[in-house]
Structure 1
């Protein structure tokens, strides 16, 4: 088991009205701050809503010390999506000077609507199918954006560029299996997983064009209308974006669905539209193994070891 201390996330900040005023006045000198409210959701950054007098509210997102580079990444990715039909946040200010708050932060527009996760329990199966179909169409729009190479996106584009999806996913698998073992995972299981994935790596080759993937597309990062039948009003949180195979993005979006979530799955896939790829369902199954391995490593990294047994069982069943 790794002796490394868990990664520290969500910086606990006591931001004063005066600090909020100093931040907002960099873009609006006459702004008057009414209140600050911490918003729930997300494991990485602290997100606050700043209510203003006689002006639309805005969102302050502060990044933890260990992940300060994610500020520039989010600015970069949102810039790629300027022409997306679905509303995304607009960056009003990105500040890495630490002159007001001793961490990197962005100030963004506040999108209308409420988080879909807060409405799901009251929706009918038809309502779930409908809103997830809207999400599927929006995800396809995100995946329509092309990049120059496969790889994880950093502050200024793809960090380590790979010429093919197979090369990228092979490197990712190798890195995550090493991390799995370093953090206390079973080496024998790691080898079985390696053999299982390598036997199907030809499936990765069908993705020939690197495309933008949100890679955290779920009900907590989607905003919908607050009343009546829900309709999509916005998408947030592009911190995990990568340049890869759209099927990887779909696999991650479907990851937490169970049998009772069939209306969500069916709606997402219907809205996404035809997937003109041979063996696409088998490819989704292959990506699910990677998503599970990645989640195991992440939970171990942030110290949530109580969930590792269930994830280990899922990996063992997939091997």
Structure 2
């Protein structure tokens, strides 16, 4: 696959893939084929077919995900993503039938200078790839399922905010938020972006730490849950979500800080309002309070702080301008709602 210079992905050789399969599945494992899969922006992913063995009548198909090398330019929120995902994966047990299972993981760097995992291949197709082909009724059904799945994820409680290892964990939610904001500010500065508005937002959020700390119980957040990370199957009884993938950005915090909630707020329009209403009906609408509005503005700054340097690094000028505008809006809201 063709790649831009800033891409973190790196292709493998056939010999490397064969060696990785032998380590994971035994010296007798034979690779029938390996096809690189598109759609992602970070890990290099292959669909691997293992040749039939005596114990297998048919080819066994598995997914190989390979992290970028340490030499790749990644930001603070992308460091050790695969290790973070493996650490937090057991906490997604409530979605065990929808999440891929890890078959093997190798972080030794003995075969190549990158982390990698083999996972089960889930059925279905990416929702965003077929969204335009769905009827209004089918879309409404999927958005309702989306709301229930998000509620299920957020229903899992943890013991500390932030994380997972090796990202630091904190006893107070405000400490986790300020840590993430501080990392984003430094990353923005490294990308030659103006950080004055982010710095101003951080000072207001620090002054309103008590409002953030009204959240006492850490909840599981997916960190990147949207249509491109949901797999669906279409059948006679209608479409259903059959897979939830790429939870490597998961962490512990306020459910309203999850990336899903940020995208819902920033992409709302009259056209998709019925779909979003169906999501919120299934998830449960949060109460509208001044404290909640302050926290929402803080989370907007936190999420924009991650998206802005990513867009700058990948040359997406339109997204950079949008991010600057949204950060300015978040700062204005924080000033208005300052405790």
Query: TM-score, structure 2 length as denominator?
Result: 0.80
Q: Structure 1, unaligned stretches of length 5 or more?
A: 1-5
What residue is the counterpart of 1:267 in the other structure? 278
How far is the alpha carbon of 1:301 from its aligned partner? Answer: 4.3
How far is the alpha carbon of 1:226 from its aligned partner? Answer: 4.4
For 1:190 and 1:273, the matched residues in 2 are separated by 31
Match of 1:251 among 261, 270, 273: 261
How far is the alpha carbon of 1:202 from its aligned partner? Answer: 4.8
Q: How does 1:1-319 map to 2 (within 5 A)?
A: 8-16=6-14, 18-29=15-26, 30-53=28-51, 54-66=58-70, 69-84=80-95, 86-155=97-166, 159-194=167-202, 197=205, 201-227=209-235, 229-249=238-258, 250-254=260-264, 257-259=267-269, 260-275=271-286, 278=289, 282=293, 283-305=295-317, 307-319=319-331
- Check conservation: 1:248, 1:287, Cα contact below 8 A: yes
For 2:276 and 2:121, the matched residues in 1 are separated by 28
Of the structure 1 ranges 25-34 and 124-133, higher mean CA displacement relative to structure 2 is found in 25-34
What residue is the counterpart of 1:3 in the other structure? none
SS of residue in 1 equivalent to 2:225: coil
Query: TM-score, structure 1 length as denominator?
Result: 0.84
For 2:115 and 2:203, the matched residues in 1 are separated by 42
Of the structure 1 ranges 54-63 and 25-34, higher mean CA displacement relative to structure 2 is found in 25-34
For 1:231 and 1:124, the matched residues in 2 are separated by 13
For 1:242 and 1:186, the matched residues in 2 are separated by 27
- Check conservation: 1:142, 1:212, Cα contact below 8 A: yes
How far is the alpha carbon of 1:195 from its aligned partner? Answer: 5.5
1:221-274 CA deviation, whole Å, 9 max, x = no partner?
A: 111104553201011111111111111114235255241332342232222235
SS of residue in 2 equivalent to 1:65: coil
- Check conservation: 1:251, 1:288, Cα contact below 8 A: no
Relative contact order, CA 8 A, sep 6+: which one is greater?
1
RMSD of aligned Cα (Å): 2.9
- Check conservation: 1:60, 1:105, Cα contact below 8 A: yes
Of the structure 1 ranges 247-256 and 125-134, higher mean CA displacement relative to structure 2 is found in 247-256
Q: Structure 2, unaligned stretches of length 5 or more?
A: 52-57, 71-77, 332-339
For 1:264 and 1:201, the matched residues in 2 are separated by 34
How far is the alpha carbon of 1:7 from its aligned partner? Answer: 9.3
For 1:187 and 1:13, the matched residues in 2 are separated by 35
1:33-61 CA deviation, whole Å, 9 max, x = no partner?
A: 32211111221110111123414310000
1:169-210 CA deviation, whole Å, 9 max, x = no partner?
A: 133233323443443333443354346645765542332111
How far is the alpha carbon of 1:162 from its aligned partner? Answer: 1.6
Question: Quick one: structure 1 residues 145 and 7, their matched pair in 2 at CA, closer, same or farther if it must change by over 3 Å?
Answer: farther
How far is the alpha carbon of 1:302 from its aligned partner? Answer: 4.7
- Check conservation: 2:94, 2:153, Cα contact below 8 A: no
Question: Quick one: structure 1 residues 264 and 177, their matched pair in 2 at CA, closer, same or farther if it must change by over 3 Å?
Answer: farther
Aligned length: 310
For 1:297 and 1:48, the matched residues in 2 are separated by 28
1:138-171 CA deviation, whole Å, 9 max, x = no partner?
A: 122222222221113234xxx3222111222133
